[in-house]
Amino acid sequence: MTPTATALEPKTSHDTPTALPLRVVSLAKRFGQTVALDGVSLEVKAGECVGLLGPNGAGKSTLIRSIVGRVLPDSGSVEVFGLAAGSMGARMALGWIPQEIALYPRITVRENLAAFGRYFALSRTQIHDSVAWCLKWAALEDRAGDIAKTLSGGMKRRLNMAAGLVHRPRIVLMDEPTVGVDPQSRNRIFEMIESLRAEGTAIVYTTHYMEEAERLCDRIAIIDHGKVIAQGTKDALVRDVFGQRSQVLARFSSPVPGIVAWAESHGGRLVDSTAEFTIEHSSQVGPLLESAASAGLILDDVSIRRPNLESVFLHLTGRELRD
């Protein structure tokens, strides 16, 4: 799946070679009364893939658009390879894959890619080479002559991604690139992103799908209500929040109010019809189930698991990722 990369000469000759691909410091932005970003700080190192994990409305897209220079922050700063966001150097170094299918629907796949190449002032040869690379990367070579709007949903997503890479940026911002695609297309997109990572491209990946963040990202920043509430590797986040504790998931075929009352009386909560508890030691499971039986609840099944990012998010915010 990894295409032969035809790296373009960097257009940004003014950036500091040793500067971080991305440094966001205390970024704040309000839209009227709504606080979209509330002092967000974030760093991305070369070749690193950082996931921005958070529910809809958490501020992920505003953060991405601030980095691209499309949103002017009220305070704070954004540097791309040491250059201010929105500067020509930063624009050339950044690739932005927006959440929307931001393409020209009435022209072909190849023409779309070439158009964005021209917007980045690539030469004719560079456009030729880069379009070829993009088509191969997005597995759209056999659809190059098709009109964009006639493509399937998954293909449009892949073209949308390729259009953000046509100038071969060194850091790519992906804003929920798998929204609305089927599992097969999603896997193909994952492969595309992994091939990009293999080339050493830094990536910021926003999603509210925990599995995507776990699979693709070296490091994860959990964002909620415009704040980064925790960041680190998946294991570090789970360890920091839960230590060595485990989670007990118990499902009952009993009326919901009874389950909720019982779970809350034992420090647990009901999530998707499943009572969820955090325990320090497995020996606590027996007494817990005995208590449920005493409360008249009929147990269907029970499991013990290590906490995941979803658990971390739930623990930190009190709500689920997909809320």
Residues found near other proteins in the complex (CB under 8 A):
31, 65, 68-72, 88, 91-92, 94, 96, 98-105, 116, 119-121, 163-164, 167
User: What is the closest distance, in whole angstroms, from the C-beta atom of residue 313 to other proteins in the complex?
Assistant: 27
What residues pair up with 275 in beta bridges, in sequence order?
250, 270
| Phi, psi (deg, nearest 5) at residue 304 | -120, 135
Is 104 or 190 the residue whose CB approaches other proteins more closely?
104
Rounded Cα gap, residues 160 and 163, in angstroms: 5
Q: Identify which of residues 175 and 212 has a Cβ nearer to other proteins in the complex.
A: 175
Question: Nearest approach, Cβ of 24 to other proteins (angstroms)?
Answer: 17
| CB nearer to other proteins: pick between 88 and 256 | 88
Distances (CA, A) of 202 to 95, 165, 280: 10, 12, 38
Q: Which is nearer to other proteins, 82 or 169 (CB)?
A: 169
Instruction: Kindly give, in sequence order, each residue whose CB lies less than 8 Å from that of residue 224, ignoring residues fewer than 6 positions away.
Output: 54, 55, 58, 59, 313, 316, 317
Cα separation, 161 vs 255, in Å, equals 47
At its nearest, how many Å lie between other proteins and the CB of residue 115? 9
Closer residue to other proteins (CB): 96 or 252: 96
Q: Which amino acid is at 301?
A: D
Q: How far is the CB of 311 from other proteins (least distance, A)?
A: 34
Q: Cα–Cα–Cα angle for 118, 201, 15, nearest 5°?
A: 70
Give the nearest distance from C-beta 281 to other proteins in angstroms: 50
